[in-house]
Amino acid sequence: MDFSPDASFQTDRATLARQLRLVLPAHCLLVDEEDLRPYECDGLTAYRELPLAVCLPENEGQVVDVLRTCHQMGVPVVARGAGTGLSGGAMPHAQGVVLSLARFNKIIRLDPLARLAVVQPGVRNLAVSEAAAPHGLYYAPDPSSQIACTLGGNVAENSGGVHCLKYGLTVHNVLRVRVVSIEGEIFEIGSEAPDAPGYDLLALLIGSEGMLGVVTEVTVKLVPRPELAQVVMASFDDVGKAGAAVASIIAAGIIPAGLEMMDKPATAAVEPYVKAGYDLNAEAILLCESDGTPEEVAEEIARVTEVLKAAGASDLRVSQSEAERLRFWAGRKAAFPAVGRITPDYYCMDGTIPRKRLAEMLAAIADMEKKHGLRCANVFHAGDGNLHPLIMYDAAQPGEWARAEAFGAEILELSVALGGSITGEHGVGIEKINQMCVQYKTPELNAFRRIKAAFDEGGLLNPGKAVPSLHRCAEYGRMHVHHGDLKFPELERF
């Protein structure tokens, strides 16, 4: 993909550095190439770019000053959290500034009676739950990277996690955000009350990938830690049966705390790494968690077990201790690094499809493996149809990255054809910008652009991400999409 910088943004490093030094202490500004190199990409390492400068403000006033300076100079700004994102959303602009919020790492207030926490955007996801634990509370969204990812990044990408089926994504667990506009104006969206008057701008901002404003404070909901949680691990001798079992659980009116799926290549990678106790003979396993009072958990586990047996599970195990439950989840959360141990590189996808079509998608991915000559391990937030295929390749081998990229694009476009979406939680960034041309038509893309212009008329905040230009879509349509017609006409459209 071509991500060459927009020629309309042009400045020189010396001039920019001189202006930024007027508003930042010396230790808060990086301009030497050696210092800039760690910021050249996020978790999607296939795409890299060096910025002109990196700003590391220590307070909100400095954020305001940096944004005002960049706005006056017409310099692009890319806000960055911990850099754990997987869609290239925090990749720098070659003619711009990276605005790191890493030093905004304080929990400002934790109110156990109101069950909320007010935090800065650089606070780690897991740190919120650790701080709330003495009060019997925790923050529900738990991405696999929760030990490192930050709340600001979670807000930018509307992150989820293995428990989002029952407890929701970031958008369902944030009450208020404090934001600085590209012009340096501070405004607040949402409130500590259950609702706020006016349009739901909070939902608009969450998941906007840093394109509308820079978040400097987040107010999140805290929920009571359940008395008990148990996990059922179900083995299946066929991935199609496992996919059908997911739909059966939801159809039975059961909403588990978590419902995850891993295929055989994924469990084979994870088990030697984590020793989670997974069934390595199974073609796929499901992890289904129930939480609540002991009575509620016992009843739900019994119902889930009945559904899984009827769906063809070849073996069932129920966690018998908290340590065993955590071990089951540790394997699922370590799937990405585990696959990283067995392949030089891997490319993580993030499509979402209707649950009832999981088996269909898995069969298609198996065919794509043969077509592209690459292996793929599959892990899923199965309860909400969010796929994470891990395409294995070797960037040192000529042509393998191109094949991996084509493989990933085909998965995303099939997700749309099956009635789903090109992303569930990782965002669009630069990775999926071409597939936005498949997901949406021109009137919808124009609506996105008008929203962007309302917040950032000059297009300085994270330019070139998430919303493609009409020229890009026209070019991609000529190459791939055939002017908006789906590549899979034999599939029913939803």
pLDDT tens track for 325-345: 999 999 999 999 999 999 999
The DSSP symbol for 74 reads T
pLDDT band at 261 (very low <50, low <70, confident <90, very high): very high
pLDDT value of residue 11: 83
Residues 6 or more apart in contact with residue 366 via CB below 8 angstroms: none
Distance CA 72, CA 439 (A): 35
Q: What CATH number matches the domain at 343-481, 3.40.50.720, 3.40.50.300, 1.20.1250.20, 3.30.70.2740?
A: 3.30.70.2740
pLDDT value of residue 10: 79
223 burial (CB, 10 Å; 0-12 / 13-18 / 19+) is middle
pLDDT beyond 70 at 242: yes
Q: Which fold has domain 107-224?
A: 3.30.465
Residues of the chain with CATH 3.30.43.10: 13-100
Low-confidence winner among 14-18, 57-61, 129-133, 353-357 (lowest mean pLDDT): 353-357
pLDDT beyond 60 at 76: yes
pLDDT value of residue 483: 42
Give the DSSP H/E element, type plus range, for residue 325: helix 322-333
Residues of the chain with CATH 3.30.465.10: 107-224
In our burial notation (b when 16+ CB lie closer than 10 A, e otherwise), range 424-453 reads bbbbbbbbbbbbbbbbbeeeebeebeeebe
Residues of the chain with CATH 3.30.70.2740: 343-481
pLDDT beyond 80 at 86: yes
Mean pLDDT confidence for 42-47? 94
pLDDT value of residue 140: 97
Q: Which amino acid would we find at residue 186?
A: I
Domain 228-338, CATH 3.30.70.3450 — does that match?
Answer: yes
Domain 13-100, CATH 3.30.43.10 — does that match?
Answer: yes
Q: Mind giving me the DSSP string for 268-303? A: HHHHHHH-----TT-SEEEEEEEEESHHHHHHHHHH
pLDDT beyond 70 at 236: yes
State percent of the chain over pLDDT 90. 90
The DSSP symbol for 482 reads S
- Structure-token pair, residue 371: 């077509």
Compare 358 and 136 and report the one with higher pLDDT: 136
Distance CA 191, CA 237 (A): 49
Dihedral-angle region of residue 184 (phi above 0 means left; psi in -120 to 50 means alpha; beta otherwise): left
Mean pLDDT confidence for 3-22? 82
Residues of the chain with CATH 3.30.70.3450: 228-338
- Structure-token pair, residue 447: 């609506």
